[in-house]
Amino acid sequence: MLNVPSPNLQVEEQRLAALYAYDVLGEGLNNELDNLVKLAAQIAATPKAYITFVDQENIVFKASYGLVTKERVFNRDGSICQFAMYANEVYITPNIHESPDFKGSLLLYSEDKIVFYASVPLVDTEGFPLGCLCVVDDIERSLNSSQIEALQTLSQQIITHLSLRRKNLQLAKQTQRSEEFINVFEASPEIHCILNRNGDIVFTNQAAYRLLGYKREEVLGRSMWSFCYPEDVLKIINHIEEGLKLGEKEFTLDFRVVDKAGQVKWLSWSMVSKEDRWYSYGRDITERKRLIAELTNLSFVASKVNNGVVISDNYNRVSWANDAFTEITGFTLQDIQGKPLGDLIRGPETDWSVVEEARKLTNEKKSFTVDILAYRKDKKKIWLSIYSTIILSADGEVETEIEIIIDITEKKKAAQELEILSTVASKTNTGVAICNEEGAITWVNTALELLIGYASAELSGKMLGDVLSTDETDRQVILSARAASENQKSFSIEVLAQKKDGTSIWLSVANTPIINSKGKVERYIELITDITERKQVERDIIQAKEQALQLSEAKEMFLSVMSHEIRTPLNAIIGMTHLLIENEPKTSQIEDLNILKFSGENLLNIINDVLDFTKIETGNLHLEFLPVNLQVLCTDIISSLQINANKQQNVLGLNFDKQIPSLVLADQTRLYQVLMNLLGNAIKFTTKGKVELSVKAQHQNDSSIAIYFEVKDNGIGIPSDKKDYIFETFTQARADISAKYGGTGLGLAITKKLLKLYQSEIKVDSLEGEGTSFSFVIKFDKIWQVDSQKSIKPVAFEGKRILIVDDNEINILIAKRILMKWGLNIDFASDGYKAIASITKNKYDLVFMDIKMPGITGFETTTIIRGMEEEYYKNLPIVALTASTLHNEESKFKESGMNGHVLKPFSPTEIKKVLSRFLI
């Protein structure tokens, strides 16, 4: 996409906040920008123009001119605007269908058939991009410098328009807020006054009339002290003067005033000094003062009782609570004063309907008693029993509510436990037995009687284990359980028992001791469940698992034996083919020999596919991570496939990202196998076309890198209903594929399973008749330092002596033909005994050891050689020759002392690598 920096999360959040401040995404601003958009189209001489704003997930077309499509909200993914708005200049694309920036963009498929695209970023005065002003055309074109400059000027006008709109919105909100403040001020039940420095009233609200009976005009201009109770004036003035000397600006005090009717009332008064004004407000606390005086006397009595006492007013607001309430709930008087008690002690599991019913009874002037699940201040659950008494005033209204609060948590727990135990014991299908402190049964439920066939009277006074045990019962399990009970520990056992009618039954017994307050066992509770069916299922599962394991081993052994039987003659075919080709055959024979070589190697590939798939299925194939140069690997693969590509008249290419590090940790063999499978298929199913391998770096950090691989062709493609089917074993997309193109149908199945070992998933994108793309992503660990590879020395085998141990004369003939070309001295042995005899008589530089021979095997022969005393026998290189692929043979190679192995059929190249490793 565009080469612009991607914003971080914090910047994006700030940008979205700026966008939302303009209020342009909703219904507002629907038509206000239409003329500016039309002007943009006229400046650019295009038939269409629009303005976009980029929201968090969507692109919103707010104003448009000339567009056909009616859709105005699009998904942000794939949008060009989200990148173009960060550009510092006008972004122009003459033809979006040829620009890589628009890959995946919805504009490519628009009803407006857009070709030309240009956008100007809309950036507000604070530097936040909001979206773009776009002009588009259905033909390829460009813009001149004058048009560009005019569009940039127009974008600034749009921002100016938006800024003006935002200021208007802010002003409207401020005006509304001011009106609301005035309404709140006038509606306040408290007296609000503004005084001058001398204490004269310059402003007051209507509460002065409601509380004191004075109209506003009767108090304005008068001194506040003229309304005060004469005995309190001096005290108030002294308090204020002392505070001012200490630099205080805020004062709160209680004093008395005289209302218009001559009644004395208490006010709680707060004053704040600012410049030459006093801002003050007061509330009537006459009733509170009276209650406090009365409660002072009551509190002395209430504070001495152990139960909680809470006193509330006629609005359920707490005015007083004793120390016992704090002990019970953790709430102090300061925590709850002036607040409804129910709101404070409620929690997630509180039955709020109980609180509502209590308040309803209070409103109906009725006393009540309730039990409620409440919560302490520390959020711990607590059960409270609340006894409420209503105190009525002289005119019959609720004046005070006194609540006596008792902690009944322990009582509730005991009741709940008893209720649960009663329900379990009488209703559950699980057997329940209650035993005394010695373990003897005192009671059983009906479910246990039905389960074991014994009545309660038959079990009373006995131990259940003694009644139900048989010769097949594991008595040690029962004795261990009883020992646990004696140590006051719970236990759970599974034991084979016998019902009254002699039927065997498996029981699960869970025993819990009940401890009294003195720490002694009071009784035992046992829960007994029939698990006979579960035990049978467990036995069936174990049997099925063993059978599956035997079948898996038999399958692997069969494939290994078949592999050995096929590879042995195949070794002769491929080996002799190599020799014949190297012995300068006649021109007329070359084509026949190449066909023979190709057929042999194709058969070998089929065998390898089947065996690899079997290894993966049985979990015996594991990745081996070593330093790998991916560029070298990919280049070698492309080079090796050029001949096949040329035969199909295909162009085979590699697109390799230079950002990929030179070395990563990977299993080169399996990665090679994956890429060869995919590229081989692409070449096979493409004629006179193009096949490309793309390798690109994705996200990376200091220790790892994710790399994207894609094999793409323009061959025959895959039908849409076959895309998943092709990854099944022994399947191909069409019935004629195998006949026309060859193959086993295992390649893609193996590829998919190999990629799963890499924790990767393969994806396929194909259109029948147009081509196919296979892609996957693998995360590799990086390699920063590796040991320099040893320089490869030239092959020099002259004079080296080799022993070949093999009972197959054809294998010996092929090995002799290949090895003698390199100047090696060769001896042969047809079994293990002769091999040991030859090794004890002669000194060899290397031994090729067949695994399966008459007499003793290659493993046994190697073990005997390694057991000989001389150092020569312990260090002599021994390499296995095998046609078997059993997964446990690799461990046998190491256990017997072999240095490696070569799988038959082998090529001269493979043999030369082994010789170079051990002889140079």
For 782, list phi and psi in degrees, rounded to 5. -85, 155
Provide the token pair at 776: 């996957």
Between CA 534 and CA 496 the distance in angstroms is 13
- Per DSSP, the chain holds a count of helices (H) and strands (E) of 30, 33
CB 777 within 8 A of CB 760: yes
What confidence category does residue 665 fall into, taking pLDDT thresholds of 50, 70 and 90?
Answer: very high
Beta strand pairing call for 431-435 and 441-444: antiparallel
Quote the pLDDT of residue 575.
65
| DSSP characters over 353-417 | HHHHHHHHHHHTT--EEEEEEEE-TTS-EEEEEEEEEEEE-TTS-EEEEEEEEEE-HHHHHHHHH
Distance CA 481, CA 497 (A): 15
814 pLDDT band, cuts 50/70/90, is confident
What integer is the mean pLDDT of 578-607? 65
Q: What is the pLDDT of residue 29?
A: 67
Reported as a single tens digit per residue, the pLDDT across 129-153 is 999 999 999 999 999 999 999 999 9
Predicted pLDDT at 840: 92
In terms of C-beta density within 10 A (0-12 exposed, 13-18 middle, 19 or more buried), how is residue 441 classed?
buried
- Secondary structure of residue 161 in the 3-state scheme: helix
pLDDT at position 301: 61
Element spanning 763, H or E: strand 763-767
| Among the listed residues 197, 192, 161, 213, the one whose alpha carbon sits nearest the alpha carbon of residue 51 | 161
Q: Is the pLDDT of residue 787 over 50?
A: no
Six-digit token string for 285: 């606390």
What percent of the chain clears pLDDT 70, i.e. is strictly above it?
83
Per-residue pLDDT tens digits for 496-521:
888 888 888 888 888 888 887 777 88
Among 20-29, 349-358, 512-521, 575-584, the range scoring the smallest mean pLDDT is 575-584
Between 34-44 and 145-187, two packed helices, what is the crossing angle to 10 degrees? 170
Q: First and final CA of the chain: distance in angstroms?
A: 54
Report which residue type is found at 618.
T
Residue with tokens 């001020």: 185
Q: Edge-to-edge, what's the strand order for the sheet holding 264-274?
A: 201-204, 191-196, 277-284, 264-274, 250-258
pLDDT digits (tens, 9 = 90+) for 757-770: 888 999 999 888 89
Q: How confident is the model at residue 733 (pLDDT cuts 50, 70, 90)?
A: very low
Worst-scoring range by mean pLDDT, 247-251, 329-333, 614-618, 706-710?
A: 614-618
- The closest of 195, 184, 254 to 224, measured between CA atoms, is 195
Contact, 60 vs 132, CB < 8 A? no
Beta strands in 460-562 (DSSP E): 491-498, 504-515, 521-530
Position 776 confidence tier, pLDDT thresholds 50, 70, 90: very high
Q: Is the predicted pLDDT of residue 740 greater than 60, yes or no?
A: no
- Residue 488's SS3 state is coil
pLDDT band at 738 (very low <50, low <70, confident <90, very high): very low
Q: Three-class SS of residue 480?
A: helix
For residues 38 and 17, give the distance between their C-alpha atoms in angstroms, rounded to a whole number. Answer: 28
Between 32 and 713, the more confident residue is: 713
Is 890 or 521 the better-scoring residue by pLDDT?
521
Q: What H or E segment, with its residue span, contains residue 12? A: helix 9-21
Please report how many Cα atoms fall inside a 13 Å half-sphere around the Cα of residue 500, on the Cβ side: 11
* Helix segments in 428-531, DSSP class H: 446-452, 456-459, 464-468, 475-486
Work out the mean pLDDT of the chain and round it to a whole number: 81
Residue 396: other Cβ atoms inside 10 A: 8
Distances (CA, A) of 476 to 463, 493, 527: 15, 11, 20
pLDDT single digits (tens) 368-402: 888 888 898 888 888 888 888 887 776 778 777 88
Q: At what angle do helices 630-640 and 668-684 cross, to 10 degrees?
A: 40
**413-422 pLDDT, tens per residue?**
766 665 666 5
Whether 606 has a pLDDT exceeding 60, the answer reads: no
pLDDT of residue 607: 64
pTM of the model: 0.34
Average pLDDT value for residue range 195-209: 81
Q: Is the pLDDT of residue 645 over 80?
A: yes
For the stretch 109-130, pLDDT in tens is 888 899 999 999 999 988 999 9
Looking at per-residue confidence, does 287 or 65 come out higher?
65
CA 674, CA 695: separation in Å to the nearest integer? 14
pLDDT of residue 224: 80
How confident is the model at residue 731, as a pLDDT? Answer: 46
Per-residue pLDDT at 593: 67
